[in-house]
Amino acid sequence: MSTSADQEISGVFTREFELEGLDKTLLFNQKEWGDVSCVIWDASLVLARYLEKRSKENPSFLKNVKTLELGAGVGCVGIVAACFGANVTVTDLPSVLPLLQLNIKENKNVWASGGGQVRATELSWGKMINELESPDLLLLADCVYYSESIIPLVETMKQISTRETEIIICQEQRDSEKQRAIWKEFMSELTKFFQFNPIPTEEQHPLFKSPDILLLRGGLLP
């Protein structure tokens, strides 16, 4: 691609995402190198395909649903939700926003045709949230990497959620002892305030699911 936004983001390549049943294709700009927020990770694919499958089974599932994604990265999950009619805000750190905004702009013809909306805004976990409204649906894909981010992430989830907010978390379970310990620490902190249940594999996309990728659905404790 040759847009001016590309010239500001070096080392970019594109990946196609075909929307089943809509006969449309999204194009996501990704980075050739980086640590996090640079490519579409497997957990994002699993969550995006789950939203797609659920929308195909119930076309009203995402229609006009106020949706917020934390740690959106390149924007795959949130943009897919918008394609099925959701009103989406994707959030991440300031350094990630240029790529997020590029992907929103270059896929506008697709998500707008689905009746949805999507915008990107800066959000640092653990800081006070003033301008964001509590969503109907809160999405997280592969947000748990570092021990120091656990309490800020859970605090942000508490601030932004209401009793009516449905929360869906998708996380790849990595093999290292360190990552297993971080996930255990996250779940210990999370379940002080929230309750979650695994989404059965039969409810997930038949091709985009894995025993190594957890898909959880829940919300605030009563």
Q: pLDDT per residue over 33-44, tens digit each?
A: 655 557 898 999
> Does the residue 96 lie in any domain?
yes
Angle between helices 150-160 and 177-190 (to 10 degrees): 30
Asked whether residue 167 is assigned to any structural domain, the reply reads yes
Query: Do 116 and 110 meet the contact criterion of CB atoms below 8 Å apart?
Result: no
What confidence score (pLDDT) does residue 20 get?
Answer: 86
Under 8 Å between Cβ of 24 and 83: yes
Q: How far is CA 9 from CA 22, 73, 215, in A?
A: 30, 14, 32
In this model, does residue 72 exceed pLDDT 80?
yes
What rounded mean pLDDT belongs to the chain?
A: 92
Percent of the chain with pLDDT over 90: 84
Structural domains of the chain, count? 1
> For residue 159, what are the domain limits?
12-220
pLDDT tens digit sequence for 115-153? 999 999 999 999 888 789 999 999 999 999 999 999 999
Residues 155-179, mean pLDDT to the nearest whole number = 95
8 A C-beta contact, residue 19 and residue 98: no
CA distances (Å), origin 205, targets 37, 49, 62, 63, 188: 24, 6, 17, 20, 28
In a domain, 192, yes or no: yes
Q: Which amino acid is at 78?
A: G
pLDDT for position 2: 32
Q: Classify residue 7: in a domain, yes or no.
A: no
* For residue 3, pLDDT beyond 80: no
Q: In this structure, what CATH number is given to the domain that contains residue 211?
A: 3.40.50.150
Sequence-distant (6+) residues with CB within 8 A of 89 are: 67, 68, 69, 78, 118, 119, 120, 121, 132, 135
pTM value > 0.75: yes
